[in-house]
Structure 1
Amino acid sequence: MPTAIRPSTGKLTTYGPGALALLLLGGLGGYYYLRKRFEPAPNQLSVPNILAQCTFQWQADPDAVPPEPCAALLVPVQLPGCPLTCYLQFDTGAPSSLLYAHALHALRTAYPATAAVVQVHGASVPNFSFQLGAATVVAAQVRVVEYGDEELPADSAEPFIIGTLGADVLENRVLVLDYAQRRFQLFPQLPAALARRAVFIPLRFRKRRLLLRATLLGQQYELLFDSGSSAYALITNRKPWKALAEVGAAVQTSDVNSWGHTLTAYTAPTQAKLELGAIALPLRRVTYIQGVKWWQYVLMRASGMGGMLGNEPFRHHTLILDTFAGRFGLIAHPIES
């Protein structure tokens, strides 16, 4: 049964002993320890200076309520010696690309020739390469995590996901995502014809995290663009969620799988507009997630980050992420009636 938004009466937040010690004793020192502990490793990807483009696929989540047709953005890739088209989930919330151990084992079992090019040593695959459109992307080393499907899908049309394509692929590059045409284009530089059509705001690419400033109900926020949060418009913490959600509106509760951990998402309708410079986009929904680890909450609060934007607000636009020039651009598309 759906719940309803009620005016806040205030509630104490409970932290575990480790978080409490950090907050009481660490102060800014604790924040800098966490920031250092979780900053990304050096970029291992080498992307050639040519256009890398493909048609991406949306992965649906039929178990969501209501069913979500665009739960994950999948990029097709080809591995040397493997006839099967594999997929990487494009996730700008991940500063480094990853491979999934269970999926790699299933791939090597079904296609033994791939064992020579996908050799797992400890917790990484050295000298890993894949074809992204016409471009060959090479990684000196890619970390492997215990995740992924343990066998290939019975339906050959179903995408087989072998890993995550993170924000490391964007370093000193320009990504153009045309949501309407499902077009993924990675340029060395932004073509002038596209630049003339776009409206830009500043973009920070700090520690391989895409940060932009937005205004919601007159309040400024620094938001992370996270393409891995495809099913959500805006994820924030409880206080701004209560301010943005419609009072008295039904709240949808759902389970979220975050790397094998089940979290709870609370999503409510909102009338707030997402203001990005001269552009105002309807947000429609706002979400907060319960069950995140204490250090994630502390790091987010201490860093000043106000939330994460998913793909949903931009679905009627072409989105431009120009990390080379430090700008975030949008090109509007007509909405079909």
Structure 2
Amino acid sequence: MKLFRNILLVVLALLLVSGIGGYFYMRKKFEPGVNQLSVTGLPATCTFVWKADSTAQPVVAHAALLVPARLPGCPRTCYFQFDTGAPTSILYARSLAALRGRYPATTQTLLPQADTVRNFQFGLGSGSVQARKIKVLDYGRSTLPADSTEPFIIGTLGTDALEGRVLVLNYSTRQFSLRADVPTSLTSQTVFVPLDFASRRVMLNAAVQGKPRQLLFDSGSSAFALLTSRATWEQMAQPQARVRHAAVNSLGTTLTAHTVATAATLGLGQVAVPLHTVTYIEGTSFMQSALMRFSGMGGMLGNEPFAERTIVLDVRGGRFGLVHQ
């Protein structure tokens, strides 16, 4: 009996130690590195464009939200995908190589050292963004499109650009405005809910089906209203509604999105915003699923619920706003 008790105590101690170790491991994996971006010349205002996914059936018109960037030595306007699900901005190695080949004046500024470009700078509207160092991922297009008006994506602009600032996104006019403060003209017209920016994730307090949830606002999930677990998806789906299945490209990895109609609404203060659809993703890695559970998020909110509306990400003031229509 004493031996059994000692073995049980050892097992419990090992579980406790492994649990604590797992907690700190996941916390470290979830924490982004030190912010390398500085932004000057605010407000930085520009017109964003939607990138469509013509491979999906039906065609997804709002597959990605792209913001224009001006690079030194490059006469062509390039684009970043704006992704609030990414806490750190990155560049795409294949896209940079294509630019260096076409525009030799960019060679010095766009040539990575190992997997990093140093002192990278670009113009964003009337503002300027500089990164002391920025990671380069083996991704992107290897050739420039023949049509000079077709957006050429060179990387992802993440939430490191938002830290300590305010972003006003007007979906109806496609205006992206990075600012130091919330415009006075919008304050009285906006309903605000708490926003948490820990680990540079845009987490907002909202209600889904009348229940409080902490949701990650992920502008990179442009084509979806709400991404959630399969169990929640089944609860929210309208009975007998047809399910749409679509392949989703996530930085080279193909996932499967299952989307169905829902009558559920998103509650922001006293305002109820129809979701129309709800989606769960199949094929995510164990690490991605574990990070979502570790973060405590109740789902990912995309751009679609705010189509034709204006939202305010007041990171500086810790609040998320929806402008009254």
Q: Which amino acid aligns with 1:242?
A: E
Contact 2:210 2:267 in 1 (8 A): no
Q: Which amino acid aligns with 1:189?
A: D
Partner of 1:42: 34
Contact 1:56 1:184 in 2 (8 A): yes
Q: Which amino acid aligns with 1:192?
A: T
Contact 1:49 1:188 in 2 (8 A): no
Listed as ranges, the gaps of 5+ residues in structure 2 are: 1-14
1:25 shift after superposition: 7.8
**Which residue of the other structure, out of 59, 63, 69, is the alignment partner of 1:71?**
63
**Which residue of the other structure, out of 247, 258, 269, is the alignment partner of 1:277?**
269
**Structure 1 counterpart SS, 2:97:** helix
Partner of 1:81: 73
1:240 shift after superposition: 0.8
Contact 1:80 1:130 in 2 (8 A): yes
Deviates more, 1:269-278 or 1:298-307: 298-307
Structure 1's consecutive aligned runs of 4 or more residues displaced over 6 angstroms after TM superposition are none
Partner of 1:217: 209
Q: Does 1:258 align with 2:250?
A: yes
Partner of 1:15: none
Partner of 1:11: none
Partner of 2:282: 290
Contact 2:26 2:294 in 1 (8 A): no
Deviates more, 1:145-154 or 1:62-71: 62-71
| Aligned counterparts, 1:114-125, within 5 A | 114-125=106-117
Q: Which amino acid aligns with 1:247?
A: P
**Which residue of the other structure, out of 145, 158, 168, is the alignment partner of 1:153?**
145
1:37 shift after superposition: 2.1
| Aligned counterparts, 1:153-172, within 5 A | 153-172=145-164
Residue deviations 1:66-116 (CA, integer Å, cap 9, x gap): 111111000001001110000000000000000000000000001111112
Larger radius of gyration: 2
Cα distance 1:256–1:24, how it changes in 2: closer, same or farther (>3 A)? farther
Listed as ranges, the gaps of 5+ residues in structure 1 are: 1-22
1:49 shift after superposition: 5.2
Q: Which amino acid aligns with 2:179?
A: F
Q: TM-score if structure 1 supplies the norm length?
A: 0.90
Q: Which amino acid aligns with 2:81?
A: Q
Q: Does 1:94 align with 2:86?
A: yes
- Cα distance in structure 2, aligned partners of 1:49 and 1:133: 9
Q: Which amino acid aligns with 1:217?
A: Q
1:239 shift after superposition: 1.1
Partner of 1:185: 177
Partner of 1:129: 121
Q: Which amino acid aligns with 1:285?
A: T
Name the count of aligned residue pairs: 312
Q: Which amino acid aligns with 1:127?
A: N
Identity value in percent:
55
Root-mean-square deviation (Å): 1.5
| Aligned counterparts, 1:239-254, within 5 A | 239-254=231-246
- Cα distance in structure 1, aligned partners of 2:104 and 2:72: 12
**Structure 1 counterpart SS, 2:84:** coil
